[in-house]
Chains A and B, each alone.
Chain A
Amino acid sequence: MNFSLLMILLTPFFGGLLAYAASALHKSVRNIFFLIFMLIPFVELPVYLNKTVDNFYYLTILGQNLSLGINPLSSMMLLLFTLIFFLSSIFMMFEFNDRGEEGDLAVLELSFLEGAVFGVLLARDILTFFIFFELMAVLVFFLVGKGYKEAHTAQMKYITWALIGANSMLAAIVLLLFKAGNIGYTEIAGYLSTAPTSIVLVTFILFAIGFLIEASIMPFHVWTPITYAEAPDSVSVVLASVVKKVGLYLFALFAFSLFGLNLFSKLLPQVLNNSLVMYILQWIGALTIIIGTFIAIVQEDAKKILAWSSVAQSGYILLGLSLGTPLGVAGGLLHIINHSIFKGLLFFVVGGVIYRTGTKNLPELGGLIKKMPVSFISMLLGIIAVAGIPPLNGFNSKYLIYEALIQKNEPILLTIALLGGTGSFMYVYRLIHSIFLGQLHEEHESVREVPLIMQIPMIVLALLALLFGVLPGIPMYFVSKVEAFLGLDPIKYNLTGFPEQPGLHAGNVPVISITFVAGLVVAGLLFYLLPRARKVHQLDNYYAGEVLTKDVKYNYSFGFYSFFDDIIAPFNKWSVESVYESFVGFIKTAGDYLRRVYTGNLETYVSFGVILLVIFSLIYILGGILW
């Protein structure tokens, strides 16, 4: 029994308790303990990179082994999540600085959340991951409540959906426990390879419901927009970058390691070279992409745009993973890494803007580029990454997914995915325009840049996005090890791109970057050799001769894409949310009828009792006569 993995698991829990205890002394002591314990996993983890070890530690309860272990997929995500948690904790220190008791509880809960996430990633049997998964849901529930005005509605929506997912997964776990008699991953995989088709299908669907709720795929995404938007900003980063990826990690692990593509091909009919289940999941992914993108375009709240964008990008990851080919799975896994980085970056920048200006409503912001230049440059890199434009990292993963779709000969899905890419360009421009460009409002004249330490998360993630974009070999090193672990042939790559291989045209991002820089140099030379431009005040604008004054707000911000809203208006009527709302309404009405049984009148209750007694006696007597 090796205790080192257990130490990795227990470090965040221990750190959280210590920080909470230290908060009784002083805030800065709490902060120091918090940050130190967030840094420790960086030191502990590199030993276990790319190793697959089962049963590092186990605990025997009631005859079953609850075990921990590590594999390449877990280690890749552990490294990524440790970074995101550390940067988010820096941000949390500033955000909860003057909230007193709430800040101490938030520190405790974030540390425990990190521990729960580590637990899910390090689990080697289906009961352990479930326990830590539920712990994660409870902690997210508490953390979301510390947010903005509508946080309580968000909490209720989140916990309802988390419970639906939890019950679905619990049903599958109990079914497998009874049928297989053991809970370890390898034993379950062995049982499933010989199980009847109905058991395989039912358990897969029940597990998939649980995981896809966490990963916010349609039609289970209705909790995502309001929860991401109303949570505090450091928690939003963790929600979008970590919690969502846990659902996708479990999906990848279960679909490829436990169930396996061969099992699906054997038991289920084939549709166009895919097994039926995987084909349906591809279409669900494509629908998520396009619907998420179109709804993100017409939002008026900065964090809601990012939340719907996360929904759309999950669709990309699901599309890549359910393709099942080495190219597709590599694209999906690479997009997991890239999406965590650039979505975390965008949430950090928006959080910084909210920290300084106090509002996240887009029509109230504008023109902050001169006051917050570092945030502007970080957000510029972030939006180039979301749109999937070279030389940032979004291009590499989307490129792999597109090429995988071409290899599988699926033009309609490729069209939907490419259209989603163009649409993402629209909402991402809206975000940067309404916050940083345009007219500066009078009440924001005194806004300064965020504090220096708070700029560190943004700068680190922006540089990482640029590095992973220009040199895709660095994340591909981890991704190829994971592909080998999941049983697929890893795709060929080198430090600067992807060489020519069957199904993949060569792509070389550094060449694109260097050519772009050369073009910029040529244009810049031509520009700067000509007479210099003098700066004019922003109000010195062409407006048919009128002299503009400061008190008039002429910024074009509200209803930026109102004409797009008109175009998709007929489709807005079919909304998934209205289906759930009508279901809730139906339950309320049914409950209303049932409530009338409780009249509060003693005679009614006694008469009910007598009638039921008579009915049951009749059944007993008649039953005794007949049989």
Chain B
Amino acid sequence: MELQETLEEGYVEILDHLRKRSLWMLHYCTACGAIELPPTITSRFDAERFGIAPFVTSRQSDILLVTGYINIKTLRRLITVYEQMLPPKYVIGFGSCTINGGIYWDSYAIVKRLDLYLPVDVYIAGCMPTPMAVLEGFRTLMKLIDEGKANGWKKYQENYEYYKENQRKVLKW
């Protein structure tokens, strides 16, 4: 038993070490923060050397980038897309609007804290964050994966009712 457990843990460690070098992000530009994505991916601040490439479908990607402010309509689509992704999956809150509402802190149509509705692994502060900050956020995520701490998807599965309750309050589903 113990041997099997140590083997399994070692197997997961090796996998995480290899997996962190091949994260695919969903190129799903939800709001104004998405304008910082093209510079990050292209020549000057090359994100592809870490293995991070933009992919179009939620079935194929690992990272959901919530770029910028989130209004109710966008939240509905984001939740659908998040549930279509295949675990292990990670959510990165991109920009200050996902942390506390940002410059729309007193709007009636904007969701103030993303953490109540989707499990966020890494936040990148800024309005907008510069490409260097984005790359730093990606590297933080890679470090968390390596240490085995990026478990947002497990949190979602275990506290499913809690998240659904919060979503229903806002979205009127």
Contacts and interface: CB of A to CB of B under 8 A. Distances in A.
A542 B84 CA distance: 8
B37 interface: no
A547 interface: yes
Nearest to B73: A545
B80 interface: yes
Contact of B59 (A542, A544, A546): A542
A540 B76 CA distance: 15
B84 A544 contact: no
A546 B58 CA distance: 12
Interface string B54-65: 000111000000
Interface in A529-550: 540, 542, 544-547
B59 to A, nearest CB: 6
* Chain A at the B interface: SS class: loop
B77 interface: yes
Contact of A542 (B58, B76, B78): B58
Contacts of B59: 542
Contact of A547 (B58, B78, B80): B80
B52 interface: no
A545 B77 CA distance: 5
B157 to A, nearest CB: 14
Q: Which of the four size classes fits the interface of chain B?
A: 10 to 19
A593 to B, nearest CB: 67
B81 interface: yes
Interface string B31-44: 00000000000000
A544 B77 CA distance: 8
A544 to B, nearest CB: 7
B77 A540 contact: no
A547 B59 CA distance: 15
Interface in B12-37: 28
B85 to A, nearest CB: 10
Interface residues of A, number: 6
B22 to A, nearest CB: 17
B111 to A, nearest CB: 16
A29 to B, nearest CB: 59
Contacts of B84: 540, 542
A40 to B, nearest CB: 58
A545 B27 CA distance: 12
Contacts of B81: 545
Interface in A297-332: none
A366 B58 CA distance: 25
Nearest to B30: A545
A542 B77 contact: no
Interface string B74-99: 00111011001000000000000000
A179 B51 CA distance: 86
A540 B84 CA distance: 8
A297 to B, nearest CB: 29
Nearest to A542: B57
Contacts of A546: 77, 80
B96 to A, nearest CB: 23
B24 to A, nearest CB: 14
A361 to B, nearest CB: 32
Contacts of A540: 84
Nearest to B56: A542
Interface string B157-171: 000000000000000
A20 B84 CA distance: 62
Contacts of B76: 545
Nearest to B59: A542
Nearest to B60: A542
Nearest to A543: B80
A545 B56 CA distance: 12
16 contacts: A540-B84, A542-B57, A542-B58, A542-B59, A542-B84, A544-B28, A544-B77, A545-B28, A545-B76, A545-B77, A545-B78, A545-B80, A545-B81, A546-B77, A546-B80, A547-B80
Given A545-B77, A547-B80, 14 more contacts: A540-B84, A542-B57, A542-B58, A542-B59, A542-B84, A544-B28, A544-B77, A545-B28, A545-B76, A545-B78, A545-B80, A545-B81, A546-B77, A546-B80
Which 5 pairs show the lowest CB-CB distances between chains A and B?
A: A545-B77, A542-B57, A545-B81, A545-B80, A542-B58
